[in-house]
Amino acid sequence: MTRLGILGTGACLPDRVVSNDEAGAAAGVDDAWISRKTAIRERRWAAPEQATSDLAAAAGREALRAAGIGAGELSAIVVATSTPDRPQPPTASLVQQRLGAADAAAFDVNAVCSGSVFALCAAEGVLARCGGHALVIGADVYSRILNPADRRTVVLFGDGAGALLMGPTSARRPRVRHVALHTFGELAGLIEVPAGGSRLPTDRSALDAGLQYFAMDGREVRRFVMSRLPVLTKQFLHEAGVVPDDISHFVPHQANGVMLDAVAAELPLPRARTHRTLTHYGNTGAASIPITLDAAARAGAFRPGELILLAGFGGGMSAGFALVEW
């Protein structure tokens, strides 16, 4: 089989910087409270005219530019998002049009904050069958679905997009060695937007009840992450045929800095450097892993041959792992 590599990365963050005091004002919390609870200091929120597809297309252009690949060479565009521009059409089709990637099949993946790892796996499958190059994009605009009075959620999330360009390479380029995906449907109610689908349309009664907003049981989500992630990580490393000491870098979903500290203490990764962008960008949903990977790559953090563990977790409940050899 042709060797598939990660040929380039990219990211797009909105210009608007939102401080903790601004984000928490309507919820009655300030910078000190938010920093202590989350380790987040600020985040970016999209401008009124910006939608998820705009950020996704911009991140995709950056990844194409980094790889030296034209949009016309794409055979697939996979967008991971749980905040699409609208229920239909797929956000990926709008990205395809903006990039001018006329020959690319384009579709969305929704595994919430694990979405970019799920999309990575889907893109590999497309390339194995169809060849060519695939653009994998994680993009979310959570600021549009947050209840400004809910301190449990409004202080956590930012907007952004991150992208990976995948394709055949004979050179020593980063490659994905192993992927594992998990869903725990019995816990689906822990993270949700209740209204807006076929079960509960967004009618006047739903709007009056605030059911169009993102909702999360933070206590149970933390319990899920703390109990499942260490076990799943050990299982993944065993399946991938590596030992914990082999991992040089850890790029987790940027959910909450305080929770990541607690998780890192429980993970079997004694030599791994944990990479973070949440201090300045907050939780960017499906975008958080590719944004953080791009930031680290552009900073020269990775050396050829080093192993990087990507770990996503989020609504569904879901978890996704990828082992990248740089």
Catalytic hit among 249, 253, 256, 275: 253
Segments of the chain assigned E as strands: 4-12, 17-19, 42-44, 74-80, 105-109, 133-141, 159-168, 175-183, 191-192, 215-216, 247-252, 273-274, 307-314, 318-325
| pLDDT tens profile 203-251 | 999 999 999 999 999 999 999 999 999 999 999 999 999 999 999 999 9
Side chain identity at residue 299, one-letter code: A
| pLDDT tens profile 130-165 | 899 999 999 999 999 999 999 999 999 999 999 999
d(CA 219, CA 197): 26
Higher pLDDT residue, 314 or 1? 314
pLDDT greater than 90 at residue 63: yes
Phi-psi region of 266 (alpha: psi -120 to 50; beta: other; left: phi over 0): alpha
Beta-bridge partner residues of 249: 273, 308
Q: Is 113 a catalytic residue?
A: yes
Task: Order the strands of the 247-252 sheet from edge to edge.
Answer: 175-183, 318-325, 307-314, 247-252, 273-274
- The domain limits of the chain are 4-172, 176-325
Beta-bridge partner residues of 108: 79
> What SS3 class is residue 76?
strand
| pLDDT tens profile 274-283 | 999 999 999 9
- Do the domains 4-172 and 176-325 sit in the same CATH topology, yes or no? yes
d(CA 18, CA 43): 5
d(CA 250, CA 12): 21
Phi-psi region of 81 (alpha: psi -120 to 50; beta: other; left: phi over 0): beta
- pLDDT band at residue 3, thresholds of 50, 70 and 90? confident
Considering the four listed CATH numbers 3.40.47.10, 3.40.50.1820, 1.10.274.100, 3.90.1200.10, the one that applies to the domain covering 4-172 is 3.40.47.10
Q: Is 283 a catalytic residue?
A: yes
pLDDT greater than 80 at residue 171: no
Q: Return the structure tokens found at 161.
A: 């997009």
| pLDDT tens profile 80-120 | 999 999 999 999 999 999 999 999 999 999 999 999 999 99
Considering the four listed CATH numbers 3.50.50.60, 3.20.20.70, 3.40.47.10, 3.10.450.50, the one that applies to the domain covering 176-325 is 3.40.47.10
- pLDDT score recorded for residue 173: 81
Side chain identity at residue 197, one-letter code: G
Kindly state the average pLDDT of the residues 174-196: 95
Q: Return the structure tokens found at 164.
A: 């990976």
- pLDDT band at residue 321, thresholds of 50, 70 and 90? very high
Higher pLDDT residue, 61 or 171? 61
Q: Is 121 a catalytic residue?
A: no
d(CA 322, CA 120): 9
- pLDDT band at residue 2, thresholds of 50, 70 and 90? low
Catalytic hit among 20, 113, 249, 256: 113
Q: Are 91 and 79 in contact (CB under 8 A)?
A: yes
DSSP type of residue 3: P
Q: Are 6 and 176 in contact (CB under 8 A)?
A: yes
Q: Is the pTM of this model over 0.75?
A: yes
